[in-house]
Structure 1
């Protein structure tokens, strides 16, 4: 969803901190309990793509009205971002706090009808109470947020009250979410490369660029853990262009025999008005050709106009970029839409490949896909290949490019360049044995 500039004003986060400090001082003096609750709304994917400001404002007004009716006049509700709210409930027992949270979830988790369109919204709430759970304002807020993740793990429309033992998985999520907005400016992000082995050329001729986060206390954090936070924080476009520039910088740093470097691209970024201009400026800055880059479309596209996506992709192809469709096999769109896309590669979804391999159905299912792709003039990339047996079987199935830990795990650019000859020799030996 876009910005909701006309939605009702709520107190800012600073007010929550001030109110919490005052309430805690009062509660300590008069020995009262206080609850901090963290609420997260869950919107359906199609809602974020409406680009209809009137629908967004109407939905926001509806939800906020229900929220205000669900709490007492003496309580405080704070909007943190598009999906998250915090509640400060004063002079409350544990039992009554649970009743209020149940009332909130029942009130706002509903199907909303706006302009004859239906949007189903769910929610989760985490609760931490003073003085039973924590005494400091920051700790209360962090624990409440962690408990929200515990509630999410239980399912939709659940709440969770902290009872003295913090869930480690939830704590990790809170730490990642709170620290990620500062990761880029503190220089904690870096790009690794996973080589791609071309079976026809018997050589490494491609590599996928993958962003990584070296967290100061957690160590290496995978994109699966932080990309969703980047999207919520409005940083996904910034991250894409940072990765794009890092790849171009590496390409320009030394002569490389690798033909294609793949970069993940969401449709949201593709549809930016200035996208082609922005990437062209970076290419020119480093004297890199678009022909050296493959853009992997990584997002559900069925909720977009196929014509709009096609037009944008055609412009990129005319500029020299290679286009790959990532996560093929997840059933996001119809075959009739698929054949309209101006793409050069399909990349079979890693989980799809693994499930087929596990159930010994990969030959019967994948072979027709590979043949179909070849008949359409497309090449097929198989990712997630982890051992020699898988490598040999997928080679025999006729796919074009192999990617996975058997070829190489994601590594630094320098390590990849130094290991290419060894990877090719090992792959050649396995094929000769097979």
Structure 2
């Protein structure tokens, strides 16, 4: 006879995940997933240059859920790809309806999408369906995703650039140690990872400042815009400006808001 220790916590967690799986499938069909927008600003005059699109789930019982709370479950049940494209589609809807009159909306794309042989055509088809100009959309990609299949990615990004859709590099400085790949890809901007911004006013301030200064110099030599992300205080905004950053993003300027809350902004 075999005895097993029953853990009520494990049972509760299994039931929670099972419920979430069913809720997620229903949520996709009921339109419960929303795109929130967080502005990217010129730090000298605080004018809005663009927005980043961020996925949120307005769960009918659990309230507003962040991606960390549901993307793992979405991957387990095979809904992740649907969510990947949902964000781009919603961003284009916002642009087409005049929700953001000027500037661009930046949409995160991942390695799974970039590996797809028809990635560029899917992006362009989505823009065409909503009658949105390529210049109104930017694609944000991490270093890891960029280099997972560099030739396929480079080809797709070149095709998209011809249509006006440009890419920017997210979390720059946290991934690969080699910077030699930067010039190989048709990039418009790099985003300095928030960890370096957070470190500027700590005991590690000198080393963080050195990294930021180096990124600004490298980006400048390649004619790339530099966006500092994760700016949460006026002191951080002042410091990254002193180090040469032109654009910033973070709670100091604005928290992510529902598309309706930013209706008609720049």
Q: Are 2:109 and 1:268 aligned?
A: no
Larger Rg, first or second structure (1 or 2): 1
Question: 1:298-333, CA deviations, whole angstroms, 9 ceiling, x for partnerless residues?
Answer: 362376232222112111111210110111121235
Question: 1:331-359, CA deviations, whole angstroms, 9 ceiling, x for partnerless residues?
Answer: 23521223322211111222343244433
Q: Are 2:250 and 1:404 aligned?
A: yes
For 1:277-316, list aligned pairs within 5 A: 277-298=121-142, 300-301=144-145, 304-316=148-160
Secondary structure class of the residue paired with 2:107: strand
Q: Are 2:237 and 1:370 aligned?
A: no
Match of 1:210 among 54, 60, 73: 54
Secondary structure class of the residue paired with 1:212: strand
For residues 58 and 99 of structure 2, the distance between their equivalents in structure 1, rounded to whole angstroms, comes to: 28
For residues 134 and 45 of structure 2, the distance between their equivalents in structure 1, rounded to whole angstroms, comes to: 22
Sort the Cα spacing of 1:352 and 1:217 in 2 relative to 1 into closer, same or farther, 3 A. Answer: farther
Q: What's the RMSD between the two structures over aligned residues?
A: 2.6
Match in the other structure for 2:93: 249
User: Is the 2:142–2:170 contact (alpha carbons within 8 Å) kept by the matching residues of 1?
Assistant: yes
Match of 2:239 among 369, 374, 393: 393
User: Is the 1:269–1:275 contact (alpha carbons within 8 Å) kept by the matching residues of 2?
Assistant: yes
Secondary structure class of the residue paired with 2:101: coil
For residues 61 and 84 of structure 2, the distance between their equivalents in structure 1, rounded to whole angstroms, comes to: 25
For residues 351 and 225 of structure 1, the distance between their equivalents in structure 2, rounded to whole angstroms, comes to: 22
Sort the Cα spacing of 1:307 and 1:418 in 2 relative to 1 into closer, same or farther, 3 A. Answer: closer
For residues 47 and 177 of structure 2, the distance between their equivalents in structure 1, rounded to whole angstroms, comes to: 33
Residue ranges of structure 1 left out of the alignment (5+ in a row): 1-90, 95-127, 135-141, 148-170, 421-434
Secondary structure class of the residue paired with 1:405: coil
For residues 350 and 177 of structure 1, the distance between their equivalents in structure 2, rounded to whole angstroms, comes to: 32
User: Is the 1:348–1:380 contact (alpha carbons within 8 Å) kept by the matching residues of 2?
Assistant: yes
For residues 337 and 220 of structure 1, the distance between their equivalents in structure 2, rounded to whole angstroms, comes to: 38
Report the CA distance between 1:245 and its aligned residue.
1.3
Sort the Cα spacing of 1:178 and 1:255 in 2 relative to 1 into closer, same or farther, 3 A. Answer: closer
User: Is the 1:306–1:337 contact (alpha carbons within 8 Å) kept by the matching residues of 2?
Assistant: no
Sort the Cα spacing of 1:330 and 1:338 in 2 relative to 1 into closer, same or farther, 3 A. Answer: same
Q: Are 2:225 and 1:379 aligned?
A: yes
Match in the other structure for 1:186: 30
For residues 270 and 242 of structure 1, the distance between their equivalents in structure 2, rounded to whole angstroms, comes to: 16
Sort the Cα spacing of 1:302 and 1:207 in 2 relative to 1 into closer, same or farther, 3 A. Answer: closer
User: Is the 1:310–1:342 contact (alpha carbons within 8 Å) kept by the matching residues of 2?
Assistant: yes
User: Is the 2:96–2:132 contact (alpha carbons within 8 Å) kept by the matching residues of 1?
Assistant: yes
**Residues matched between the structures, number:** 264
For residues 242 and 51 of structure 2, the distance between their equivalents in structure 1, rounded to whole angstroms, comes to: 22
Report the CA distance between 1:374 and its aligned residue.
0.8
Sort the Cα spacing of 1:351 and 1:229 in 2 relative to 1 into closer, same or farther, 3 A. Answer: farther
Report the CA distance between 1:376 and its aligned residue.
1.0
For 1:19-30, list aligned pairs within 5 A: none
User: Is the 1:302–1:333 contact (alpha carbons within 8 Å) kept by the matching residues of 2?
Assistant: no
- Structure 1 residue runs of 4 or more that deviate by more than 3 Å after TM superposition: 142-145, 171-179, 199-202, 355-358, 417-420
Match of 1:225 among 69, 72, 95: 69
Q: Are 2:190 and 1:346 aligned?
A: yes
User: Is the 1:207–1:258 contact (alpha carbons within 8 Å) kept by the matching residues of 2?
Assistant: no
For residues 339 and 172 of structure 1, the distance between their equivalents in structure 2, rounded to whole angstroms, comes to: 46
TM normalised by structure 1 equals 0.56
User: Is the 1:196–1:403 contact (alpha carbons within 8 Å) kept by the matching residues of 2?
Assistant: yes
Residue ranges of structure 2 left out of the alignment (5+ in a row): none
User: Is the 1:313–1:323 contact (alpha carbons within 8 Å) kept by the matching residues of 2?
Assistant: yes
